[in-house]
Structure 1
Amino acid sequence: MTGLIAILRGVTPAEVVGIGRALVDAGFPAIEVPLNSPEPFESVRLLTDAFGEWCEIGAGTVLTTEDVGRARAAGARMIVAPNTDPAVISAAVAEGMTPYPGVATPTEAFAAVAAGARNLKLFPAGAVGIGGMKAWRAVLPREIGLLPVGGVDEANLADWAAAGAAGAGLGSCLYRPGDDADAVGARAREFSRIWHQD
Protein backbone atom coordinates (compact mmCIF):
# COMPACT_ATOMS: atom_id res chain seq x y z
CA MET A 1 0.00 0.00 0.00
CA THR A 2 1.19 3.47 -0.82
CA GLY A 3 -0.48 6.83 -0.52
CA LEU A 4 -1.74 8.98 2.32
CA ILE A 5 -2.02 7.59 5.84
CA ALA A 6 -4.31 9.39 8.30
CA ILE A 7 -2.81 9.39 11.81
CA LEU A 8 -5.59 9.71 14.39
CA ARG A 9 -3.57 10.27 17.55
CA GLY A 10 -5.92 10.77 20.49
CA VAL A 11 -9.06 9.54 18.75
CA THR A 12 -11.69 7.79 20.89
CA PRO A 13 -13.81 4.75 20.00
CA ALA A 14 -16.95 6.89 20.26
CA GLU A 15 -15.89 9.15 17.39
CA VAL A 16 -13.61 6.96 15.32
CA VAL A 17 -16.17 5.52 12.90
CA GLY A 18 -17.54 8.94 11.93
CA ILE A 19 -14.05 10.30 11.36
CA GLY A 20 -13.06 7.12 9.52
CA ARG A 21 -16.04 7.49 7.19
CA ALA A 22 -14.99 11.06 6.35
CA LEU A 23 -11.46 9.85 5.53
CA VAL A 24 -12.65 6.94 3.38
CA ASP A 25 -15.06 9.24 1.52
CA ALA A 26 -12.10 11.59 0.86
CA GLY A 27 -10.16 8.73 -0.71
CA PHE A 28 -7.64 7.97 2.02
CA PRO A 29 -6.32 4.40 1.55
CA ALA A 30 -5.01 3.95 5.12
CA ILE A 31 -5.85 4.96 8.69
CA GLU A 32 -3.55 4.57 11.69
CA VAL A 33 -4.59 4.65 15.35
CA PRO A 34 -1.54 5.30 17.55
CA LEU A 35 -1.41 3.11 20.63
CA ASN A 36 -1.10 6.14 22.91
CA SER A 37 -4.71 6.99 22.06
CA PRO A 38 -7.64 6.07 24.37
CA GLU A 39 -8.62 2.39 23.89
CA PRO A 40 -6.65 2.11 20.64
CA PHE A 41 -7.32 -1.56 19.95
CA GLU A 42 -11.07 -0.96 20.21
CA SER A 43 -10.77 1.89 17.70
CA VAL A 44 -8.76 -0.38 15.37
CA ARG A 45 -11.46 -3.05 15.66
CA LEU A 46 -14.27 -0.58 14.95
CA LEU A 47 -12.46 0.85 11.92
CA THR A 48 -11.67 -2.62 10.58
CA ASP A 49 -15.27 -3.76 10.95
CA ALA A 50 -16.59 -0.64 9.22
CA PHE A 51 -14.00 0.06 6.53
CA GLY A 52 -11.50 -2.80 6.38
CA GLU A 53 -12.76 -3.84 2.96
CA TRP A 54 -11.85 -0.46 1.41
CA CYS A 55 -9.10 0.92 3.63
CA GLU A 56 -5.96 -0.46 5.29
CA ILE A 57 -6.36 -0.06 9.04
CA GLY A 58 -3.36 -0.14 11.31
CA ALA A 59 -1.88 0.55 14.71
CA GLY A 60 0.79 3.17 15.27
CA THR A 61 3.46 3.84 17.88
CA VAL A 62 3.89 0.05 18.10
CA LEU A 63 6.95 -0.65 20.22
CA THR A 64 6.66 -4.33 21.21
CA THR A 65 5.98 -7.67 19.58
CA GLU A 66 3.16 -8.17 22.08
CA ASP A 67 1.40 -5.11 20.71
CA VAL A 68 1.86 -6.44 17.18
CA GLY A 69 -0.17 -9.49 18.24
CA ARG A 70 -2.82 -7.39 19.96
CA ALA A 71 -3.14 -5.18 16.90
CA ARG A 72 -3.49 -8.22 14.65
CA ALA A 73 -6.20 -9.63 16.91
CA ALA A 74 -8.08 -6.33 16.56
CA GLY A 75 -7.93 -6.63 12.77
CA ALA A 76 -5.00 -4.32 11.97
CA ARG A 77 -3.23 -4.91 8.67
CA MET A 78 -0.36 -2.48 9.14
CA ILE A 79 2.06 -1.78 11.97
CA VAL A 80 3.58 1.69 12.20
CA ALA A 81 6.45 2.49 14.55
CA PRO A 82 8.51 5.58 15.36
CA ASN A 83 11.69 3.50 15.45
CA THR A 84 13.48 0.60 13.79
CA ASP A 85 13.05 -2.57 15.87
CA PRO A 86 13.86 -5.71 13.84
CA ALA A 87 11.79 -7.86 16.22
CA VAL A 88 8.67 -5.73 15.68
CA ILE A 89 9.22 -5.70 11.91
CA SER A 90 9.70 -9.48 11.81
CA ALA A 91 6.64 -10.08 13.99
CA ALA A 92 4.49 -7.95 11.69
CA VAL A 93 5.75 -9.76 8.59
CA ALA A 94 5.15 -13.13 10.26
CA GLU A 95 1.54 -12.10 10.95
CA GLY A 96 1.02 -11.12 7.31
CA MET A 97 0.91 -7.42 8.17
CA THR A 98 2.69 -4.49 6.54
CA PRO A 99 5.32 -2.86 8.77
CA TYR A 100 6.15 0.83 8.49
CA PRO A 101 9.18 1.25 10.77
CA GLY A 102 10.48 4.71 11.53
CA VAL A 103 13.91 5.49 10.13
CA ALA A 104 16.03 8.63 10.47
CA THR A 105 19.38 7.45 9.08
CA PRO A 106 20.55 5.27 6.17
CA THR A 107 21.80 2.71 8.69
CA GLU A 108 18.32 2.37 10.18
CA ALA A 109 16.80 2.21 6.70
CA PHE A 110 19.00 -0.70 5.65
CA ALA A 111 18.46 -2.48 8.99
CA ALA A 112 14.69 -2.18 8.52
CA VAL A 113 14.90 -3.55 4.98
CA ALA A 114 17.05 -6.45 6.20
CA ALA A 115 14.37 -7.26 8.81
CA GLY A 116 11.68 -7.47 6.11
CA ALA A 117 10.25 -3.96 5.76
CA ARG A 118 9.30 -2.80 2.29
CA ASN A 119 7.96 0.60 3.33
CA LEU A 120 9.92 3.03 5.50
CA LYS A 121 8.53 5.88 7.58
CA LEU A 122 10.93 8.82 7.36
CA PHE A 123 10.61 10.23 10.86
CA PRO A 124 10.82 13.01 11.63
CA ALA A 125 10.54 13.95 7.98
CA GLY A 126 11.77 17.48 8.59
CA ALA A 127 15.07 16.16 9.90
CA VAL A 128 15.62 13.85 6.93
CA GLY A 129 14.43 16.42 4.40
CA ILE A 130 13.56 16.05 0.75
CA GLY A 131 17.24 16.14 -0.18
CA GLY A 132 17.94 13.33 2.26
CA MET A 133 15.10 11.24 0.87
CA LYS A 134 16.44 11.68 -2.67
CA ALA A 135 19.89 10.57 -1.54
CA TRP A 136 18.45 7.48 0.18
CA ARG A 137 16.38 6.72 -2.92
CA ALA A 138 19.63 6.44 -4.91
CA VAL A 139 21.03 3.66 -2.70
CA LEU A 140 17.99 1.75 -1.41
CA PRO A 141 16.36 -1.02 -3.49
CA ARG A 142 13.93 0.47 -6.00
CA GLU A 143 10.92 -1.36 -4.57
CA ILE A 144 11.26 0.22 -1.11
CA GLY A 145 8.61 2.88 -0.46
CA LEU A 146 9.62 6.01 1.46
CA LEU A 147 6.88 7.83 3.38
CA PRO A 148 7.65 11.09 5.20
CA VAL A 149 5.90 11.58 8.56
CA GLY A 150 6.24 14.47 10.98
CA GLY A 151 6.22 17.95 9.54
CA VAL A 152 4.33 17.08 6.36
CA ASP A 153 1.42 19.45 5.72
CA GLU A 154 -0.52 21.19 2.95
CA ALA A 155 2.39 23.56 2.31
CA ASN A 156 4.93 20.85 1.44
CA LEU A 157 3.01 17.67 0.55
CA ALA A 158 3.22 18.41 -3.19
CA ASP A 159 7.00 18.84 -2.90
CA TRP A 160 7.39 15.47 -1.20
CA ALA A 161 5.22 13.84 -3.86
CA ALA A 162 7.21 15.42 -6.67
CA ALA A 163 10.44 14.20 -5.05
CA GLY A 164 9.27 10.58 -5.19
CA ALA A 165 7.63 9.86 -1.83
CA ALA A 166 5.49 6.73 -1.99
CA GLY A 167 3.02 8.28 0.43
CA ALA A 168 2.93 10.39 3.57
CA GLY A 169 1.62 10.18 7.10
CA LEU A 170 -0.57 13.12 8.14
CA GLY A 171 -1.13 13.75 11.82
CA SER A 172 -2.04 16.97 13.60
CA CYS A 173 -2.47 18.88 10.33
CA LEU A 174 -5.34 16.48 9.53
CA TYR A 175 -6.79 15.47 12.92
CA ARG A 176 -6.46 16.82 16.44
CA PRO A 177 -8.40 15.48 19.42
CA GLY A 178 -11.78 17.16 19.49
CA ASP A 179 -12.02 17.76 15.74
CA ASP A 180 -15.32 16.64 14.26
CA ALA A 181 -15.76 14.49 11.17
CA ASP A 182 -16.76 17.42 8.95
CA ALA A 183 -13.56 19.33 9.71
CA VAL A 184 -11.41 16.25 9.21
CA GLY A 185 -13.20 15.42 5.98
CA ALA A 186 -12.62 18.90 4.56
CA ARG A 187 -8.91 18.72 5.34
CA ALA A 188 -8.72 15.17 3.99
CA ARG A 189 -10.26 16.20 0.67
CA GLU A 190 -7.73 18.99 0.30
CA PHE A 191 -4.81 16.65 1.05
CA SER A 192 -6.15 14.12 -1.45
CA ARG A 193 -6.41 16.85 -4.07
CA ILE A 194 -2.81 17.92 -3.47
CA TRP A 195 -1.53 14.34 -3.51
CA HIS A 196 -3.27 13.38 -6.74
CA GLN A 197 -2.67 16.56 -8.71
CA ASP A 198 -0.58 16.17 -11.85
Structure 2
Amino acid sequence: MAISLKDALNELPLVAILRGVTPEEVIAIADVLVEQGYKVIEVPLNSPRPYESIKLLSDKYGENLVIGAGTVVSKEQVDQVEIAGGRIIISPHADVEIIKYSKAKNLYCVPGFFNPTEAYAAIHAGADSLKLFPADTLGPKGLKAMSVVLPDIQILPVGGVSPDTMQAFIDAGASGFGLGSGLYKAGMSVEQVKHNALAYVQGYKSTLTVH
Protein backbone atom coordinates (compact mmCIF):
# COMPACT_ATOMS: atom_id res chain seq x y z
CA MET A 1 0.00 0.00 0.00
CA ALA A 2 1.53 3.29 -1.10
CA ILE A 3 1.92 6.01 1.52
CA SER A 4 -0.96 8.52 1.62
CA LEU A 5 -0.48 12.26 1.25
CA LYS A 6 -1.78 12.76 4.78
CA ASP A 7 0.73 10.32 6.26
CA ALA A 8 3.54 11.74 4.13
CA LEU A 9 2.88 15.29 5.31
CA ASN A 10 2.42 14.12 8.90
CA GLU A 11 5.93 12.66 8.79
CA LEU A 12 7.44 15.82 7.29
CA PRO A 13 5.20 18.59 5.87
CA LEU A 14 7.79 19.84 3.37
CA VAL A 15 7.20 19.42 -0.37
CA ALA A 16 10.41 19.34 -2.42
CA ILE A 17 9.87 21.30 -5.66
CA LEU A 18 12.51 20.35 -8.24
CA ARG A 19 11.94 22.96 -10.93
CA GLY A 20 14.43 22.50 -13.77
CA VAL A 21 15.59 19.05 -12.69
CA THR A 22 16.62 16.64 -15.47
CA PRO A 23 15.91 12.89 -15.64
CA GLU A 24 19.69 12.30 -15.55
CA GLU A 25 20.06 13.82 -12.07
CA VAL A 26 16.65 13.40 -10.48
CA ILE A 27 17.32 10.12 -8.66
CA ALA A 28 20.59 11.34 -7.11
CA ILE A 29 18.79 14.42 -5.82
CA ALA A 30 15.80 12.42 -4.59
CA ASP A 31 18.14 10.07 -2.73
CA VAL A 32 19.52 12.90 -0.56
CA LEU A 33 16.02 14.28 0.03
CA VAL A 34 14.85 10.86 1.21
CA GLU A 35 17.86 10.65 3.55
CA GLN A 36 16.67 13.90 5.16
CA GLY A 37 13.11 12.59 5.57
CA TYR A 38 11.29 14.22 2.66
CA LYS A 39 8.17 12.33 1.61
CA VAL A 40 6.64 14.47 -1.16
CA ILE A 41 8.50 15.38 -4.37
CA GLU A 42 7.09 17.59 -7.10
CA VAL A 43 8.56 17.90 -10.60
CA PRO A 44 7.15 21.07 -12.20
CA LEU A 45 6.06 20.49 -15.77
CA ASN A 46 8.19 23.39 -17.02
CA SER A 47 11.28 21.25 -16.26
CA PRO A 48 13.17 19.34 -19.00
CA ARG A 49 11.34 16.07 -19.88
CA PRO A 50 9.30 16.18 -16.66
CA TYR A 51 7.24 13.04 -17.25
CA GLU A 52 10.45 11.05 -17.61
CA SER A 53 11.65 12.30 -14.22
CA ILE A 54 8.26 11.55 -12.64
CA LYS A 55 8.37 8.00 -14.03
CA LEU A 56 11.91 7.42 -12.69
CA LEU A 57 10.90 8.71 -9.26
CA SER A 58 7.65 6.72 -9.23
CA ASP A 59 9.43 3.50 -10.24
CA LYS A 60 11.94 3.83 -7.41
CA TYR A 61 9.99 5.61 -4.66
CA GLY A 62 6.32 5.36 -5.60
CA GLU A 63 5.35 3.25 -2.59
CA ASN A 64 7.22 5.24 0.05
CA LEU A 65 6.86 8.78 -1.28
CA VAL A 66 4.12 10.85 -2.88
CA ILE A 67 5.52 11.74 -6.33
CA GLY A 68 3.84 14.07 -8.77
CA ALA A 69 3.86 17.21 -10.86
CA GLY A 70 3.69 20.94 -10.33
CA THR A 71 2.59 23.74 -12.65
CA VAL A 72 -0.23 21.51 -13.93
CA VAL A 73 -2.63 23.67 -15.95
CA SER A 74 -4.61 21.26 -18.15
CA LYS A 75 -6.49 17.96 -18.01
CA GLU A 76 -4.13 16.55 -20.67
CA GLN A 77 -1.22 17.16 -18.32
CA VAL A 78 -3.09 15.39 -15.51
CA ASP A 79 -3.43 12.37 -17.82
CA GLN A 80 0.29 12.41 -18.62
CA VAL A 81 1.26 12.63 -14.94
CA GLU A 82 -0.99 9.67 -14.15
CA ILE A 83 0.54 7.63 -17.00
CA ALA A 84 4.03 8.41 -15.62
CA GLY A 85 2.97 7.06 -12.21
CA GLY A 86 2.53 10.39 -10.45
CA ARG A 87 -0.03 10.58 -7.65
CA ILE A 88 -0.22 14.28 -6.85
CA ILE A 89 -1.29 17.22 -9.02
CA ILE A 90 -0.05 20.63 -7.88
CA SER A 91 -1.15 23.78 -9.68
CA PRO A 92 -0.27 27.47 -9.38
CA HIS A 93 -3.97 28.34 -9.45
CA ALA A 94 -7.39 27.16 -8.28
CA ASP A 95 -8.86 25.62 -11.44
CA VAL A 96 -12.02 23.84 -10.30
CA GLU A 97 -12.15 21.64 -13.41
CA ILE A 98 -8.59 20.38 -12.93
CA ILE A 99 -9.26 19.68 -9.25
CA LYS A 100 -12.43 17.69 -9.98
CA TYR A 101 -10.74 15.85 -12.86
CA SER A 102 -7.77 14.90 -10.68
CA LYS A 103 -9.99 13.69 -7.84
CA ALA A 104 -12.10 11.63 -10.26
CA LYS A 105 -8.87 9.81 -11.14
CA ASN A 106 -8.09 9.26 -7.43
CA LEU A 107 -5.08 11.56 -7.58
CA TYR A 108 -4.17 13.98 -4.82
CA CYS A 109 -4.69 17.61 -5.72
CA VAL A 110 -3.05 20.67 -4.17
CA PRO A 111 -4.08 23.82 -6.05
CA GLY A 112 -2.68 27.28 -5.50
CA PHE A 113 -4.73 30.10 -4.02
CA PHE A 114 -4.18 33.74 -3.07
CA ASN A 115 -7.52 34.81 -1.56
CA PRO A 116 -10.53 33.31 0.28
CA THR A 117 -12.64 33.11 -2.91
CA GLU A 118 -10.07 30.86 -4.59
CA ALA A 119 -9.54 28.85 -1.40
CA TYR A 120 -13.24 28.07 -0.96
CA ALA A 121 -13.68 27.20 -4.64
CA ALA A 122 -10.76 24.77 -4.40
CA ILE A 123 -12.02 23.21 -1.16
CA HIS A 124 -15.53 22.70 -2.56
CA ALA A 125 -14.05 21.07 -5.67
CA GLY A 126 -12.30 18.51 -3.46
CA ALA A 127 -8.74 19.79 -2.96
CA ASP A 128 -6.69 17.72 -0.50
CA SER A 129 -4.58 20.64 0.70
CA LEU A 130 -4.01 24.22 -0.46
CA LYS A 131 -0.87 25.93 -1.69
CA LEU A 132 -0.58 29.60 -0.77
CA PHE A 133 1.22 31.14 -3.73
CA PRO A 134 3.16 33.39 -3.93
CA ALA A 135 3.58 33.24 -0.17
CA ASP A 136 6.25 35.92 0.19
CA THR A 137 3.97 38.48 -1.52
CA LEU A 138 1.03 37.87 0.82
CA GLY A 139 3.17 37.18 3.88
CA PRO A 140 2.23 35.71 7.27
CA LYS A 141 -0.12 38.63 8.04
CA GLY A 142 -2.21 37.92 4.96
CA LEU A 143 -2.33 34.20 5.76
CA LYS A 144 -3.34 34.87 9.35
CA ALA A 145 -6.26 37.05 8.25
CA MET A 146 -7.46 34.38 5.83
CA SER A 147 -6.93 31.36 8.07
CA VAL A 148 -9.52 32.79 10.48
CA VAL A 149 -12.27 32.36 7.87
CA LEU A 150 -11.08 29.19 6.14
CA PRO A 151 -12.19 25.70 7.22
CA ASP A 152 -9.72 23.23 8.69
CA ILE A 153 -7.48 22.34 5.74
CA GLN A 154 -3.72 22.10 5.38
CA ILE A 155 -2.21 25.28 3.94
CA LEU A 156 1.29 25.08 2.46
CA PRO A 157 2.96 28.42 1.69
CA VAL A 158 5.11 28.30 -1.46
CA GLY A 159 7.34 31.01 -2.89
CA GLY A 160 10.21 32.70 -1.13
CA VAL A 161 10.00 30.62 2.06
CA SER A 162 13.30 30.38 3.96
CA PRO A 163 14.15 28.43 7.13
CA ASP A 164 14.03 31.78 8.96
CA THR A 165 10.49 32.68 7.85
CA MET A 166 8.88 29.34 8.67
CA GLN A 167 7.96 30.23 12.25
CA ALA A 168 5.96 33.31 11.27
CA PHE A 169 3.97 31.33 8.70
CA ILE A 170 3.34 28.45 11.14
CA ASP A 171 2.10 30.97 13.73
CA ALA A 172 -0.22 32.41 11.06
CA GLY A 173 -1.83 29.02 10.33
CA ALA A 174 0.46 27.23 7.88
CA SER A 175 0.68 23.44 8.16
CA GLY A 176 3.84 22.95 6.11
CA PHE A 177 5.66 24.35 3.09
CA GLY A 178 6.53 23.88 -0.55
CA LEU A 179 10.23 24.50 -1.09
CA GLY A 180 11.42 25.79 -4.44
CA SER A 181 14.61 27.61 -5.41
CA GLY A 182 15.83 27.81 -1.82
CA LEU A 183 16.03 24.01 -1.89
CA TYR A 184 16.88 23.26 -5.51
CA LYS A 185 17.71 25.29 -8.60
CA ALA A 186 18.67 23.95 -12.02
CA GLY A 187 22.35 23.09 -12.10
CA MET A 188 22.73 22.84 -8.31
CA SER A 189 25.02 20.09 -7.02
CA VAL A 190 23.69 17.16 -5.03
CA GLU A 191 25.82 18.32 -2.06
CA GLN A 192 24.26 21.78 -2.15
CA VAL A 193 20.75 20.29 -2.30
CA LYS A 194 21.61 18.09 0.69
CA HIS A 195 22.83 21.14 2.62
CA ASN A 196 19.67 23.11 1.77
CA ALA A 197 17.38 20.15 2.53
CA LEU A 198 18.87 19.77 5.99
CA ALA A 199 18.59 23.51 6.70
CA TYR A 200 14.88 23.43 5.91
CA VAL A 201 14.29 20.32 8.02
CA GLN A 202 16.05 21.96 10.96
CA GLY A 203 14.15 25.19 10.35
CA TYR A 204 10.84 23.34 10.42
CA LYS A 205 11.73 21.24 13.47
CA SER A 206 12.71 24.38 15.38
CA THR A 207 9.12 25.65 14.94
CA LEU A 208 7.89 22.58 16.84
CA THR A 209 9.89 23.49 19.93
CA VAL A 210 8.72 27.11 20.17
CA HIS A 211 5.73 27.73 22.42
Do they superpose with TM above 0.5? yes
CA contact (8 A) 1:41 1:70 kept: yes
Matched, 1:19 2:29: yes
Post-superposition shift, 1:13? 0.1
Of residues 198, 205, 208, the one that matches 1:196 is: 205
CA contact (8 A) 1:44 1:59 kept: yes
Q: Runs ≥4 in structure 1, deviation > 2 angstroms?
A: 161-164
Q: Relative to structure 2, which stretch is displaced further, 59-68 or 175-184?
A: 175-184
Q: Given the two structures, how large is their TM-score scaled by the length of structure 2?
A: 0.90
Q: Which residue of 2 aligns with 1:136?
A: 146
Distance across 1 between alignment mates of 2:128 and 2:185: 29
Q: Identity rate of aligned residues, in percent?
A: 46
Greater relative contact order structure (CA < 8 Å, 6+ sep): 1
CA contact (8 A) 1:84 1:108 kept: yes
Q: Which residue of 1 aligns with 2:84?
A: 74
Partner SS state of residue 54, structure 1: coil
CA contact (8 A) 1:103 1:122 kept: yes
Q: Which residue of 1 aligns with 2:167?
A: 158
Distance across 2 between alignment mates of 1:61 and 1:29: 19
> Could you give the per-residue CA deviations for residues 146-194 of structure 1, whole angstroms, max 9, x where no partner exists?
1100111122123222333111111111101111212101110111111
Q: Which residue of 2 aligns with 1:182?
A: 191
Q: Given the two structures, how large is their TM-score scaled by the length of structure 1?
A: 0.95
* Structure 1 gap segments, 5+ residues each: none
Partner SS state of residue 57, structure 1: strand
Of residues 149, 164, 172, the one that matches 2:181 is: 172
Partner SS state of residue 169, structure 1: strand
In structure 1, what residue type is equivalent to 2:28? Answer: G
CA contact (8 A) 2:164 2:203 kept: no
Q: Aligned pair count?
A: 197
Please provide the CA RMSD for this pair.
1.1
Of residues 101, 104, 108, the one that matches 2:114 is: 104
